[in-house]
Structure 1
Amino acid sequence: MNAQDTLFSFINRWECDENDHLNVQYYFSRFEEADRQFQLLSGLSDAVVGARRVRHVRYHKELRTGDLITVKSFVAFDGPHMLTVVHELRNGGTGDLAATAIDGYEPGTASAKDLRNRFKSVLGNMPIEAAPRGIVASPAGSRATLDATLSAGAEICFRGTVLPRHIGSDGRADDGFALSAFTDAVAHVWQRTPMTHQYLSEHNYGRVAVEMKLSWLSPLKTGDMFLVASAPTGAQEKTFSIRHHLFESRTKRLAAVCDVVALVMDLSTRKAVPLPEGAQKDIPRLNQR
């Protein structure tokens, strides 16, 4: 494998959440920076492969305050997309795989041979740990409207404004911005389920995401006001799914969609626990009106 070292980092206390581990928005910001570095090292760009369609993240092990982070990145042609860029984020102290991200691109099929030759120095095989598991690989569709989303059972659970600090090097709001909005919104989504704040506090449980897929449909810029409309979409024995829609408020334009697989974690044992009785039946009904 010809993976490139694309990030060396460190976890600050202020980046950790109420579960005392690295908040998901900071995983995305690390992957964002690793990707910038990889593009410089590899020559990959929008002009060569088109815009990124989707970023799919899986979380494998917790990272805590003071942990070191390293990221290696490479291109995989055996991934779920026409061209897949893989980022492997590890605990720099132990070497354990903590999270993976796969970025999906869809260049023209006629360019496949040229791209394989262009990126032969950074090629690797798609690792099974990074493969989508609870969320399909394909990008979210762009046809959802705010009215239809609310009619289907979603509720507005966050409002905000894009500020200069949210803008990436390309002049558009970046992944970290979107994830910070979804992170603040998601507690209100959980509150609609049997896993309320009171329930979690009484049992010393925490809210945890294990898989996320972010699809950008249109850009946001400084000054744009936005809202997040979200709803639970399904449930299993130990996990349930959520979909966040991020709309620009003035025109109701869909900017991004984030799909999430979440679970309840016992904060003492740091292990997943089954959802409370009835949750598998109750949660899907929240998205039906």
Structure 2
Amino acid sequence: MAAIETVFSFVNCWECDENDHLNVQFYLARFDEADRQFRLMSGLSDALAGARRARHIRYHEELYSGDTLVMRSHVAFDGPYMLTVVHELRRAADDALAATATDGYAPATAVAKELRRRFQTVSAPMPDPAQPRSFAASSNGNGVVTAQQIEKAGARVVHRATVLPRHTGADGRADDAFALMCFTEAAPHVWNTTPMGDAWLTERGLGRVAVEMKLVWHGPLKPGDPVVTMSGLTGAGGKTFSFRHHLFEARTHRLAAVCDVMALTMDLKTRKAIPLDDDVRAAILNGALKS
């Protein structure tokens, strides 16, 4: 039983954001490649396991320009889905776990025994750091929510883009990195709906940080498709707060993807999370999407 080394990579300076660390969309680009390589080397396919139901991403350690990276991928039969594939991104210098992606599949129960046989040689136990924490393994909604419903619940348009050929994989569909590009550019506009806007963060020397995400695709996007992201707040705790992005194909208003995000503020000097003030937490809860 062993994981497969699926990605060998390096953090480029142009991939780092205003916090001087690797931006989340480039983690997803590497998880996309890990998925492609794992499928090639293991024989995993949609014909065997069905389409991926969800991808949970947890960010464990900051990565900086110049860091050398290695990804290892394996099947976890004891994971949260009937078939779970785990990708672990590590910094090569010290083997520190930087991020994990847990991919969930729901194949027919009749093929469960065959899947266990096929993937036994690339299986390993489910690592605890990769377990979904903030968001349940069940799907985000049923995929029939409309833009009008989201807007009535309190979401707003925070980003627009167009799918270009460079945003697609070998199957001609927009990949996770494209969705995260949209959500990364949308996120500051969501933050600006809270008291923690641009000026507020700058005055305090704080940065915006995502610690966990759950991405679910509800339909494909292809080159030329215009998209719009509608987002809103969903909750707040002691240090973290959450929001949800909905990605729609703009011409037909078809829902393409949903991404839940757990975020926090980070002191840019100490690189530590900062607790939410009571008034900030109250404002977030007051502005959260109404179900």
What secondary structure does 1:119 align onto? helix
Cα distance change, pair 194–221 in 1 and its aligned pair in 2 (3 A): same
Distance 1:286 1:229 in 2: 15
1:73 corresponds to: 73
Distance 1:229 1:284 in 2: 18
Give the superposition deviation at 1:14: 0.2
Amino acid in the other structure paired with 2:171? D
Amino acid in the other structure paired with 1:223? G
1:61 corresponds to: 61
Instruction: Give runs of aligned pairs for residues 55-204 of structure 1, distance below 5 A.
Output: 55-141=55-141, 142-204=143-205
Give the superposition deviation at 1:191: 0.2
1:215 corresponds to: 216
2:228 corresponds to: 227
Distance 1:243 1:236 in 2: 16
Distance 1:12 1:261 in 2: 25
Distance 2:70 2:138 in 1: 27
Give the superposition deviation at 1:288: 4.8
Deviations 1:159-200 (A, max 9, x none): 111111111111100000000000000000000001111110
Q: TM-score, normalised by structure 1?
A: 0.98
Amino acid in the other structure paired with 1:121? T
Q: Is the 8 A contact 1:241 1:262 kept in 2?
A: yes
Amino acid in the other structure paired with 1:164? P
Q: Is the 8 A contact 1:58 1:210 kept in 2?
A: yes
Distance 1:64 1:97 in 2: 14
Cα distance change, pair 288–3 in 1 and its aligned pair in 2 (3 A): closer
Moved over 3 A (4+): none
Q: Is the 8 A contact 2:233 2:289 kept in 1?
A: no
Distance 1:98 1:192 in 2: 29
Unaligned runs of 5+ in 2: none
Distance 1:14 1:288 in 2: 34
Amino acid in the other structure paired with 1:150? E
Distance 2:163 2:4 in 1: 32
1:14 corresponds to: 14
What secondary structure does 1:279 align onto? helix
1:46 corresponds to: 46
What secondary structure does 2:52 align onto? coil
Amino acid in the other structure paired with 1:44? L
CA RMSD across the alignment? 0.9
Give the superposition deviation at 1:74: 0.4
Unaligned runs of 5+ in 1: none
Aligned length: 289
Q: Is the 8 A contact 2:59 2:100 kept in 1?
A: yes
Deviations 1:17-52 (A, max 9, x none): 000000000000001101111101100011111111
Distance 1:131 1:20 in 2: 27
Percent of residue pairs bearing the same amino acid type: 60
Distance 1:195 1:136 in 2: 27
Q: Is the 8 A contact 2:234 2:289 kept in 1?
A: no
Amino acid in the other structure paired with 1:22? L
Deviations 1:195-216 (A, max 9, x none): 1111100011000000001100
What secondary structure does 2:278 align onto? coil
